[in-house]
Structure 1
């Protein structure tokens, strides 16, 4: 049984080129097309596609809303997002809403067919540039620490529950100096309590 494909794209030329590509391959069957997602549920329930090639930027009802509707009502349908823009927000919105993969419109025809095969088999198809963006997104974010090394050290001790006096003893400085460091920490972090300072430390600075 060939994989049934439905195409959403507001460009007639793009739809025609995708249809021509699918017709060259016996494993795929083109079942329908639309220029936007205005009638997305009736489209799916009329044509029963296995995979939807979904343009993102379309008039009236765009591809991200179409994706949401498909996954809400027909979660088994695989949706392969395609766009001309490698836009991070659109990538992550699509992935969070259940997209099975993400390709760019300038991907080679063979890559598009491969992506359809990958999602049909339960994989997650992704253009290499998009995959790199996803990896970068999940890398630990580098924090630009506004505190000096000494202020960071003082804050680390305070976060461990030490009093100002204990911090002073540990660092061999006066209580007044610790107090001055604490005031500067509050100013630089735009906060007004030790609790907020400790929360900042654990959220952003503790390795």
Structure 2
């Protein structure tokens, strides 16, 4: 028999160093207990129900089933569990998809360890903790102009352009071809009636399109 009074944590993270680091941190600097760690959702799914964790720390970029796709499966298996995303991804679509799929919190991996411990406490208390930059992305998404002439993908690409990303970086980040990015950029210019990046960004920001 285990003591359910102790908050139980499971970690799904493919990087062994990071996985073991979080486990050590939680077991040695918090009142919480790590009940199991996994390198993928595939290895976790057969054991998670037995682990019966209160909180799961979940990476997005996992081998096989991604963290985003694993989220609804985890929530179906363990409806009461809180899932905190720990990832390198700060792309708006990824953040919103994670939250829509049931994540209770979202942090980037450069978050100080003490903040992760605080985040576990916060989700248990019913909060929705996020890195400041993630929270800003969510707020900005909610404040966007929903009458935008731009598609979601066009707005996403223009937002990345505004952050200084070039076409090849955007293609890599969004898992699309460079030619596809070029086509989207061309459509953005037509829709906004501009001929330059600077003008497209200026108009988009003035009209809350990004």
Counterpart selection for 1:51 from 40, 52, 55: 55
Aligned to 2:87: 83
Shift of 1:43: 2.4
> Is 2:145 the partner of 1:133?
no
* SS of equivalent residue, structure 1 residue 30: strand
- Counterparts of 1:88 and 1:55 in 2: how far apart (Å)? 16
- Counterparts of 1:103 and 1:144 in 2: how far apart (Å)? 29
Aligned to 2:78: 74
* SS of equivalent residue, structure 1 residue 103: strand
Shift of 1:134: 0.4
Aligned to 2:98: 94
8 A Cα contact 1:81 1:102, kept in partner: yes
* SS of equivalent residue, structure 1 residue 110: helix
8 A Cα contact 1:2 1:26, kept in partner: no
Shift of 1:33: 0.8
Shift of 1:31: 0.4
8 A Cα contact 1:40 1:69, kept in partner: no
8 A Cα contact 2:49 2:77, kept in partner: no
Shift in CA distance, 26/107, structure 1 to aligned 2, threshold 3 Å: closer
Deviations 1:25-46 (A, max 9, x none): 3411010011110144322112
- Counterparts of 2:33 and 2:67 in 1: how far apart (Å)? 21
> Is 2:123 the partner of 1:119?
yes
> Is 2:20 the partner of 1:8?
no
Gaps of 5+ in 1: 146-187, 189-203
**In terms of mean alpha carbon deviation, does 40-49 or 57-66 score higher?**
40-49
TM norm structure 2: 0.66
8 A Cα contact 1:55 1:63, kept in partner: yes
TM norm structure 1: 0.66
Structure with larger Rg: 1
8 A Cα contact 1:7 1:54, kept in partner: yes
Equivalent residue pairs, number: 148
- Counterparts of 1:134 and 1:142 in 2: how far apart (Å)? 15
